[in-house]
Structures are given as C-alpha cells and as structure tokens.
Structure 1
Amino acid sequence: MGFKKIKNFKTLQLDDGYEIKDLSFDQSGTYLAVGGTDIRVYVCKQWQELKVFNDHTAMATGVRFGRNAQFIASTSMDRTLKLYSV
C-alpha cells in the first residue's frame, strides 16, 4: 500500500453532533468517504458533498473505496455490509 502526501489540506466542517467513526480517501486522493450517522462522499478539491447514503439502520463503523473509486463498502453496528456505487 502506497502513501500519498496531502498538500493544502483544508478543514471540512460537518454538522454539529455528527460523530465520525471512520474515514477513507480513494486511491487517487480525489474523494473522501466519511462514515458515522450516515455515509458521506466528498470531492476533496472543493470539499463539495457528492453523495449521502442512509441505508444502515445503525451507526456506520467502517468505509472503504473499491478499485478506482467505483464503489464504497460500508459496515455498521446493524451488522450489515453495504456496497454503494459512486
């Protein structure tokens, strides 16, 4: 697994009370996935929210991008694994 140096990393402000359990950048550093109350995907360059997924019935505990950021896998306290198309 390689590492990518992040330059000009800016602060991303989420809603008050949003509890982050996990976050993950895609392999290119273009997208950031945040797991917590829901799953959120951001475009890093503008910190623009791209998608929100609310399919879990409990707190999301893990998020990971698939190959070439084509999908996101998430796990949850509801004991499910979900796959989302990006």
Structure 2
Amino acid sequence: MKISYAAICIVFVLLLSEAELSMGAMTCNPLELSPCASAITGANAPSAICCSKLKEQRICLCQYMKDPNLRKFVNSPNARKVATVCGSPFPRC
C-alpha cells in the first residue's frame, strides 16, 4: 500500500499539534519542526529553516521521544540523518 506524501505530512502535523510541552522558559512545540517533515520522510534534503527550527527545538527532543505518537518520527533513522546534516546531533536521553 502506497501512502501519499501529503497524507504523511497531514498526519505528522496532526500528531505534532497534539503535543505541546513546556520546559521552563522554553516552550516545546513539535509543530515548530513541520519545516522538517519532507526531510524526515526522506522526500527532500533539510532546508535552512528546518535546520534552524531543529536547533531551536533540540532541547525538546527527549520529551518528544517520550510521546508514543511522536517517537516514531523523532527517533526515525531519517530524523537522525536530518539532525546530522543540520549539525545538531540528537541528545542522549
């Protein structure tokens, strides 16, 4: 069964909209990573905006991995490749 890119992006955005976490003064909002959706799904290379947002949200990645709906995206091999390309390695959780 082939899933369309648009469907994956919609699911990704919907899942991200469900999880907004607060860490002190920083608000962790997985929607901020939506510019990375096409890179995480393997459709494109990460954009400069994606890399910027990933670096901003890096402190939140461990929290996102605790959410079963987000874990499969954040902890995927493509997500880790995007982080490496962006120069923002994943934290050790």
Same fold (TM over 0.5): no
TM-score, with length taken from structure 2: 0.32
Query: Does 1 or 2 have the higher relative contact order (CA < 8 Å, sep 6+)?
Result: 2
| Higher relative helix content | 2
